[in-house]
């Protein structure tokens, strides 16, 4: 790993700063309140080249890696976009792009990657189910072969952007769990056209991040052509793993990005606000908790860089990715919490945005992998017995 800033990294950082300058907290406050998709921001990400960062150059992308994507996400989040900096990139430009790049057929790459790079195609990712929850190997959505098609039946929960996405990567079972030797066998991924007959989408009312909808998705006899199988039949688990590590790296970037945004906002406020004839920031009871959280965010961001570097080298990176995700989220949550404290009662007012960032960052301890499951993975790598 090289800590010198390359020309590409400098460019990514300055481009992300320029985008965020046009889509700052006021914009997101309004989008959140109105529950509106941020089409302007989405289009701007396309023009800035961020939707195509991970897409190989031959399909119109920049051919870069997760190190650059993590930097873009963290900068967008930290410079004013909050969770949106990761949220609008992680599913399509992150997971779908990587899944298709690594496991797609040539026809799939030509069909999807070019449109992903321009921002013309929006993907949702259908993993979670109401019954299986965190235990992805327990998914019950079935895909059964019928001639040159598969027929999908099942139900997904919390599928972000599924109300407006063009496609969904759906995790299914082609062989039931009871019939496979290892739980990871028998899983297959499909790229489903969201206009296909038999798909019904119903939004879930949620606590924050209302500039996107997360929905229940019902699949009833949805017919999918066999050429839309992504990766191997029954071997989809490993294709999914290729997509999960970038997602966790993206959420690590959100943890430190939102945390830094809240901390920087609170530092400016604490320099300005005087109540006992001195700026409140001169009291160490106000400055130290934010400073400590900031220091922890800096170390977590370094671990994210390492995880992303390993991923980009094609190396095993599960341990580093989970350490980065778990620590970035803890440090970021502490930063937002202490920033809210520095704002006193005004931290509770929507006009100062901290309460919104608090709602946003709290998602990162629940998804895409909960903190407990990230620590389960880390503990197992350290030598503890597997507990699940
Ligand atoms: C806003 C939002 C957007 C989302 N977007 C998507 C999306 O686009 N696509 C998608 O597929 N999913 C999405 N999710 C789903 C998210 O990934 C899941 O909510 C998450 O994986 C947890 O599943 P669950 O809610 O069923 O929790 P459960 O599995 O019921 O778990 C409940 C609690 O028990 C804990 N727990 C369970 N088993 C263990 C264990 N063995 N050891 C320790 N603790 C354990 C969990 O950590 C958790 O705290 C989204 C969720 C939200 C809230």
Measured distance CA(163)–CA(273) in Å, rounded: 43
Measure 159 CA to ligand 1 centroid, in angstroms: 12
Measure 371 CA to ligand 1 centroid, in angstroms: 10
Is the Cβ atom of 137 under 6 angstroms away from ligand 1? Answer: no
Q: Sign (positive/negative) of CA torsion 347, 349, 354, 360?
A: positive
Atom of ligand 1 nearest to the CA of 128: 11
Measured distance CA(97)–CA(307) in Å, rounded: 18
The number of angstroms, rounded, from the C-alpha of 246 to the middle of its chain's C-alpha atoms is 8
Q: Whose CA is nearest to atom 18 of ligand 1?
A: 367
Pairing of strands 167-173, 229-230: unpaired
Look at residue 270 in the predicted model and tell me its pLDDT: 98
Is the Cβ atom of 159 under 6 angstroms away from ligand 1? Answer: yes
Burial of 3 per CB tally in 10 Å (0-12, 13-18, 19+): exposed
**Tell me: the pLDDT tens digits for 109-126?**
999 999 999 999 999 999
Domains of the chain listed by start with CATH number: 7-122 (1.10.540.10), 124-235 (2.40.110.10), 238-382 (1.20.140.10)
What's 350's DSSP letter? G
Is 90 exceeded by the pLDDT of residue 5?
no
Look at residue 2 in the predicted model and tell me its pLDDT: 86
Q: What is the pTM of this model?
A: 0.98
Measure 157 CA to ligand 1 centroid, in angstroms: 10
**Of residues 77, 38, 83, 156, the one with CA closest to residue 363:** 83
Is 90 exceeded by the pLDDT of residue 193?
yes
Pairing of strands 149-160, 123-126: unpaired
Measured distance CA(159)–CA(127) in Å, rounded: 8
Atom of ligand 1 nearest to the CA of 387: 41
Atom of ligand 1 nearest to the CA of 371: 47
Measured distance CA(357)–CA(177) in Å, rounded: 40
Measure 377 CA to ligand 1 centroid, in angstroms: 15
Look at residue 251 in the predicted model and tell me its pLDDT: 98
**Tell me: the pLDDT tens digits for 25-38?**
999 999 999 999 99
Look at residue 274 in the predicted model and tell me its pLDDT: 98
Is the Cβ atom of 127 under 6 angstroms away from ligand 1? Answer: yes
Atom of ligand 1 nearest to the CA of 368: 17
Is the Cβ atom of 370 under 6 angstroms away from ligand 1? Answer: yes
């Amino acid at each position: 790993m090289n800590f010198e800033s390359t020309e590409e990294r400098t460019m990514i950082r300055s481009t992300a700063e320029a985008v965020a300058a046009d889509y700052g907290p006021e914009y997101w406050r309004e989008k959140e309140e109105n529950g509106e998709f941020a089409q302007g921001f989405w289009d701007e990400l396309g023009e800035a080249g961020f939707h195509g960062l991970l897409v190989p150059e031959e399909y119109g992308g920049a051919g870069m890696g997760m190190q650059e994507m993590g930097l873009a996400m963290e900068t967008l989040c930290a410079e004013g976009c909050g969770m949106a900096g990761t949220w609008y990139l992680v599913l399509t430009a992150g997971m779908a792009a990587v899944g298709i790049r690594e496991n797609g057929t040539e026809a799939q790459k030509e069909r999807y990657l070019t449109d992903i790079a321009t921002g013309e195609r929006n993907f949702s990712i259908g993993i979670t189910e109401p019954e299986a929850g965190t235990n992805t190997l327990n998914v019950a959505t079935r895909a059964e072969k019928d001639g040159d098609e598969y027929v999908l039946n099942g139900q997904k929960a919390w599928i972000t952007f599924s109300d407006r996405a063009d496609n969904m990567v759906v995790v299914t079972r082609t062989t039931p769990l009871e019939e496979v030797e290892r739980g990871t066998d028998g899983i297959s991924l499909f790229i489903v056209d969201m206009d296909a007959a038999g798909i019904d989408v119903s939004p879930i009312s949620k606590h924050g991040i209302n500039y996107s909808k997360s929905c229940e998705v019902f699949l009833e006899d949805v017919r999918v052509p066999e050429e839309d199988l992504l990766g191997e039949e029954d071997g989809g688990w490993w294709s999914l793993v290729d997509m999960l590590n970038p997602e966790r790296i993206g959420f690590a970037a959100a943890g430190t990005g939102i945390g830094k945004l809240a901390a920087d906002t609170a530092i400016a406020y604490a320099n300005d606000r005087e109540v006992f004839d001195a700026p409140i920031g001169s009291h160490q009871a106000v400055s130290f908790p934010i400073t400590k959280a900031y220091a922890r965010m800096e170390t977590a961001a370094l671990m994210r860089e390492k995880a992303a570097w390993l991923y980009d080298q094609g190396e095993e990176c599960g341990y580093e990715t989970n350490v980065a995700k778990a620590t970035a989220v803890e440090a970021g949550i502490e930063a937002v919490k202490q920033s809210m404290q520095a704002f006193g009662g005004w931290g509770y007012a929507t006009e100062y945005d901290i309460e919104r960032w608090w709602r946003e960052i709290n998602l990162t301890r629940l998804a895409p992998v909960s903190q407990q499951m990230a620590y389960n993975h880390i503990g197992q790598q350290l030598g503890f017995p597997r507990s699940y």
